[in-house]
Amino acid sequence: MLNNSQKILKEARRQHYAVGQFNVFNLETARAVIKAAEKLKAPVIIGVSPKTIEYAGLNQITSIIKTEASGTKNPVVLHLDHSFDFGLIKKAVSAGFTSVMFDGSKVNLAENLKITQKTVNLCRPKNISVEAEIGVIGGKLTEPEEAAIFAQKTKANSLAISIGNVHGGQFAAEKLDLKLLQNIAQSVKIPLVLHGASSTPRHEIKRAIKFGIVKINIDTDLRTAFRKGILKYAAQEKDPRIILDNTAHEIQGVVEEKIKLFGSQNHA
């Protein structure tokens, strides 16, 4: 069943575990994520990027996820990931998304603040969660005082921060700055989000959760599993349905591993 992310992230923060956001791009990836979450009784956030919307179509990918989510009692959040475009946010809201993110990392702080507030004003009356971002993933680190003021002024429900994490499965030259994370967690009163976690070692993930991260985004790991699965099973099978189904099982295994790492199993 579809939910927004507010309650599940608050509960994760209270009990010191993290909820996984897994980005999907077709039926097989969506089904794999929901099956993994259902098997482990975990809340889950399904992320849809602007590139996936461009590839699959907004209504089409939304319908797939809504249909798959309707068959489970587990909390499933349908989340628009990394939108730089307020117009796309409005379309996602109309399509039935239960959570959205405005990514203001490409604009100055004042513009980020303005559009994030605009997003909150659109979404709050509709009970839709809003994730904001401050700092640049793989670039400018988040400043605790600036993050606290930003969260207070925008009234976003969660905040993605930059503490040395990088997108695209690239391994950062430095480890996560966990001291910075601690300082941000002490200053910011809303749930904190870690993006680019496919490249982050397991022990760093566990420490990040310990020090305040409550939502973790996974994208590259799923795309890698999909590509490897297709290559593996296409060499063994002729029926594309079998190839895709077996590949979905591989993806489900990756999601289950991440859910266990994040500690969110049995928290649905």
> Per this entry, what is the length of the chain?
268
What is the distance between the alpha carbons of residues 54 and 194, in angstroms, rounded to a whole number? 25
What is the distance between the alpha carbons of residues 164 and 171, in angstroms, rounded to a whole number? 10
Q: What is the DSSP annotation of 205-264?
A: HHHHHHTTEEEEEE-HHHHHHHHHHHHHHHTT-S-HHHHHHHHHHHHHHHHHHHHHHHT-
Rounded to 5°, the CA angle 106-213-82 comes to 30
What is the distance between the alpha carbons of residues 53 and 63, in angstroms, rounded to a whole number? 12
- Active-site residue (options: 81, 103, 219, 221): 81
Q: Is 103 a catalytic residue?
A: no
Q: Collapse the DSSP code of 78 into the 3-class scheme (helix H, G, I; strand E, B; otherwise coil) and give the result.
A: strand
Where in the sequence numbering do the catalytic residues fall? 81
